[in-house]
């Protein structure tokens, strides 16, 4: 079984842990790689040996990061023909209309605000994983057969 690749671009170790925990809870089969800022992300995608690595099925991209921020990463991704089709979901604490607008303008596939409440957070991550990693098709990857876990209806948010 092929496992889709998820690239998490996130400078906060807490959020990184929470995303990974939430994915695990949701049983989304994904191979997660993490870039801890924009530089690392770009290095991973375009740096030495990048061509040898398969492109991720989804990039969860934080916006506010040191050195190179999410917008710059997105811009670069969309500028390169090779990475132009990779789904990029901006996953940010911001819900500033300006940020949302700019993300889409740069070619983001989706914009999801990170909820503070962990239950909501977990739901968001589960839905994202189920959609982008199991339902969504990306070029260069075989069509994923939906798994039972992948199509599981998410539990209703508590509270």
From the list 27, 33, 72, 93, which residue makes contact with other proteins (rule: CB under 8 A)?
93
Does residue number 91 form part of the binding site for other proteins (CB under 8 A)? no
Q: Is the dihedral of CA 11, 12, 13, 18 positive or negative?
A: negative
Q: Pick the piece of the chain touching other proteins (CB under 8 A) from 36-44, 101-109, 118-126, 134-142.
A: 118-126
Distance CA(146)–CA(13), nearest Å, equals 31
Taking the C-alpha atoms of residue 58 and residue 4, their distance in angstroms, rounded to an integer, is 8
Q: Can you point out the beta strands (E) in the chain?
A: 4-9, 30-35, 58-61, 88-92, 110-113
By CB under 8 A, what part of segment 29-48 binds other proteins? none
Build a one-symbol-per-residue string for 47-76: x at contacts with other proteins by CB under 8 A, - elsewhere.
Answer: ----------------xx------------
Residues that bind other proteins (CB under 8 A): 12, 14-15, 17-18, 21, 63-64, 92-97, 114-119, 121
């Amino acid at each position: 079984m092929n496992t889709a690749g998820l690239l998490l671009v996130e400078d906060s170790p807490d959020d990184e842990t929470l995303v990974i925990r939430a994915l695990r809870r949701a049983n989304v089969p994904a191979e997660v790689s993490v870039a801890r800022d924009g530089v690392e992300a770009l290095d991973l995608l375009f740096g030495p040996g990048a061509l040898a690595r398969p492109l991720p099925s989804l990039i969860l991209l934080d916006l506010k990061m040191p050195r190179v921020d999410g917008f710059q990463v997105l811009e670069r991704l969309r500028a390169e023909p090779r990475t132009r089709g990779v789904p990029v979901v901006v996953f940010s604490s911001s819900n500033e209309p300006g940020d949302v607008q700019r993300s889409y303008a740069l070619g983001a596939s989706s914009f999801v605000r990170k909820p503070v409440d962990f239950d909501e957070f977990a739901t968001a991550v589960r839905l994202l994983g189920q959609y982008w990693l199991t339902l969504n098709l990306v070029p260069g990857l075989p069509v994923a057969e939906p798994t039972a876990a992948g199509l599981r209806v998410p539990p209703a948010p508590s509270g």
